[in-house]
Structure formats: structure tokens, C-alpha cells
Homo-oligomer: A and B are copies of this chain.
């Protein structure tokens, strides 16, 4: 099986994205995960332009990596000096990596009008720099910036830039669609021509998503013979992003039959993608091909019936191949058969026409209208059904709470909560301080309940999300709170909606606790 080398730039080109700023610890975690997945190259930073990267490269030197080579990235030497006198190249070498990437100009206009030097000097800058780095024993990737735009403007000069790199010993010539404006047919045609022209060198592709074609362009280049694909996890990158490796890798492995990762690695793709979103502190794109939560989610009633008959009806691949899974969504459109399957887990005797089923459908519509979304909050959904079926007895009664946020602080903390609850006629009143009003209320509620239900000590809130539903109502807007809770055995998500964030959080908190207690009862 032929091999395509995956070249990840999540830490370098990805860091150009709006809203991205990694700490050194974040970067180390990402490198470890990419290595575990088995990408061939990790472009870790640009030591010339960012001195903080040098500290990171020092840390990287201490890591034991199994699959990946670390790449330090930099530019060709400055105009009119020797490579050995160039400070940026000195920084690049001091990163101490086995391999480096050097970007240079291949579009004549960029040389004359942006770089402001002669076409000949630019070729010398490429050749000198690469020859110098090869003499230092480095593996060298040459990134031909704006290659496709350059080729369209002046094919001869663009190819001369590649030739200068190849003759100086570059191991890979990577063709960059820097502005992301090229279409797959053009990428394929030009890449094929370059592959034929430079038979002894590996050809790479580096695309941007400005026409929403970065994945198609990268795959087209592989079809034309490119053997290195550059991109980023989840397509993180400047403007519209870089080519998304999480789509390219399965496209190439599953559809072109070429190998990108070590055998058996593809099933870890979804978890890698989610963990990079988490580390980069970006909401994961749930509609992302292959690795999004929705990628294999079915909502339309007819689609669900067909998928139940045979998944290939509405799934282009088996989701397990990339570590994802099929989901059947709760919603008005989903149809009663889906809903009934859920209900039957609690009461197998109910049918599509039972009055209880109708009552649940009506309640669901009412709550969805208020802003509830049970597609993610399946535990709150189960509690709604239990309540309507008379299967739920509240575990406690709220007598009152008061949350006070004060500036200046009343006690050691700005936020305090007082709560009074009753369990089986026995009352408990307590209070807690917190980081903010929701945290204070959460702590006070748990404290009040622990005496009655010691098992709630086992549960931990692991995620808290707030979404403003009608943000044009500004500070009076309705908010939806989702809370994710875990214990040693499971993870569950609950929801609350209200114009009051504390009330919305309260509802989700109560559901989180009650779901835990329902599970403990084993019914």
C-alpha cells in the first residue's frame, strides 16, 4: 500500500488562527497526541520569529517520540547576506531538530513587489539556504509559498524556484496554495506536472480553505502523486483555516486506499480531534466530517428507518473506522418510532398510540419551544419521561435558596449561597461560598444533600456550558445551560433553560444529581 506522509502544522500555521494562543504545556500535550496517532512530521514552531518557541523546542528535545519527526520552520536567508550570517537561520538551527521546513517565494510578483528583490536573488536565497541546511545534516522541506498563484502568473519562474530547491538538495518540494483560491482540477493538473518534472524528490501539498476546497485540493494533489500532505487538526488556521487533516486522512486511507498512519491508528482519529479542540480551547465542530458528534447522526424519520435497515443507506463509511459512532436523535422530526424506542427502555408495555406516548410528545414539543434541546441532554430527557410516567419521586424538596453576589465582598468571597432543603420531612439548611453564584449554589446544594445521599460525593461536574438563546434581548436574554457530570462508571448531560442563568443552572444541577441517584437505585 503506498504511503502518504502526514505533516501536521497545528502548532505553527494553526497558531495563526484567530482566538488561538497555546501555552507551552498545551503544545507538549498536542505533540504527544500527534505522535501517538502516528503523523510523520510535526511542525512545532518558528524559532526565528518567535523566541518563546526556543524554550518549547528545548522541552521537545526531552520527549521520546515514537512516530513523528519534529520540524522547525523558518524563511530563506535575508537578501544579500550569507545563510551563516542570518539570525533567523541561527535560531532555526538552535532548535536542534532533525528536520526543518523553509518557505520561499515562487510567485514573481511576490519577489519583486513584496520582498522587493530581483528574481535571481530570490532563487539564490532558496538555493543557498537549503544547501547550507543540508550541509548541517538536516532533512529539508521546501515550502513554495503561493506556488499555484505563481504558476498561473509565471509558470517558468515558479518551476525555477522549485528547481533551485531541488538542486540544493531539498528532500521535499511542498506546493502551497497560500491564499486558498485554487480549485481541485487546477491543483491536480499542476501537481501532476511537478511530480513528473522532479522524479527524485517527494512532492508535498499545503492548502488553505478560502474557497471551502482545502480538503478536495489536498486529495486532488495526492491523486496526482503528492506524497506529503500538510494540514492541521480540525483545520485550525488563519482566515478560513488550513486543510483539515481529520478529513484528509480518512479520505485518503478509506477512499484512495493509501496509508497515512500506522496500521490501526485511524480509529483514534475522533478522540485525537476532540482532544486538540479541548487543548486549544475551541468548541469542537460537531458537524465536522468523520470526527464531529453529528457526522453520523440521523434525525429525519425516514432516514432513521433506512439506517436501521442498513447503515449504508445514509452513511458513506462505518463510523467505527474513525472511532466515531452512529447517533439517532430525539426531535419532533425524528418520528415516534425513535421516541418510542427510548420510552420502551423505561416501560416496554407502551405503544405508539398509548396516551402516555402522546403526553410525552406534547411535553417534548413544549420544552423544545422553550429552548430545550434534548439531543445532547439525554439524561434530562430520561427524567422528563420518568416524571410523566409517574416513575419518578423527587429525592428532595427545595424550601428556599438565596444567592448573594456583592461588591465589595460580604465574606471572604463575592458569591454566597444559602439553601434549605427537605428530605422525607427532615430539613437541612446550609450555606457555601463559591467562585461565582452558580458555583456557590452548586456547593451549597451538594453540602445539604450529602448527609442524605453520600453517593453524590462520587460525582464530579466535568463540563459547564452556557448558550445565550436570544442574544438580541441582551442582558434579559434566555440562556441554556448544559452540565456534564461524571462518576467512575458513566458520564451524563443535563440541561436547564431560563432567562435567569442561576435558575437555568439550578435546573441542570438538580437533574444531574437526580440522574445519579436514579442510577444508584438501579431502576
Instruction: List 14 A–B pairs whose Cβ atoms lie within 8 Å, in order of A's numbering.
Output: A16-B303, A18-B297, A49-B302, A184-B216, A185-B220, A213-B215, A241-B287, A281-B469, A402-B404, A403-B406, A405-B437, A435-B499, A435-B500, A466-B467
Known contacts A211-B251, A301-B49, A464-B475; is-contact A19 B114 (Cβ 8 Å): no
Instruction: Report if A514 contacts B (CB, 8 A).
Output: no
Known contacts A49-B302, A180-B316, A470-B281; is-contact A210 B295 (Cβ 8 Å): yes
A313-331 vs B, CB cutoff 8 Å, 1 = contact: the mask equals 1111100000000000101
A98-135 vs B, CB cutoff 8 Å, 1 = contact: the mask equals 00000000000010011000000000000000000000
Contacts of A179 in B (CB 8 A): 312-316
Give chain A interface residues in 196-235, CB to chain B under 8 Å.
209-213, 215-217, 219-220, 223, 235
Q: Which residue of B lies closest to A23 (CB)?
A: B369
Known contacts A310-B114, A474-B483; is-contact A240 B289 (Cβ 8 Å): yes
Interfacial residues, chain A to chain B (CB-CB below 8 A): 15-19, 21, 49-50, 110, 113-114, 178-181, 183-185, 188, 209-213, 215-217, 219-220, 223, 235, 238-241, 244, 247, 251, 255, 278, 281, 286-290, 292, 294-303, 306, 309-310, 312-317, 329, 331-333, 368, 373, 375, 398, 400-408, 410, 414-415, 434-439, 441-442, 460-477, 479, 483-484, 498-503, 505-506, 509
Report which of B407, B441, B461, B509 forms a contact with A503, defined as CB distance below 8 A: B407
In terms of DSSP, what is the predominant structure of the interface of chain A?
A: mixed
Q: Are B475 and A442 in contact (CB under 8 A)?
A: yes
Q: Which residue of B lies closest to A181 (CB)?
A: B316
Distance (whole angstroms) from the CB of A267 to the closest CB of chain B? 18
Task: Give the CA-CA distance A429 to B406 in the complex, in Å.
Answer: 15
Distance (whole angstroms) from the CB of A201 to the closest CB of chain B? 25
Contacts of A415 in B (CB 8 A): 500, 502
Contacts of A185 in B (CB 8 A): 184, 188, 220, 223
Task: Give the CA-CA distance A502 to B404 in the complex, in Å.
Answer: 11
Task: Give the CA-CA distance A75 to B188 in the complex, in Å.
Answer: 38
Report which of B244, B247, B401, B471 forms a contact with A463, defined as CB distance below 8 A: B471
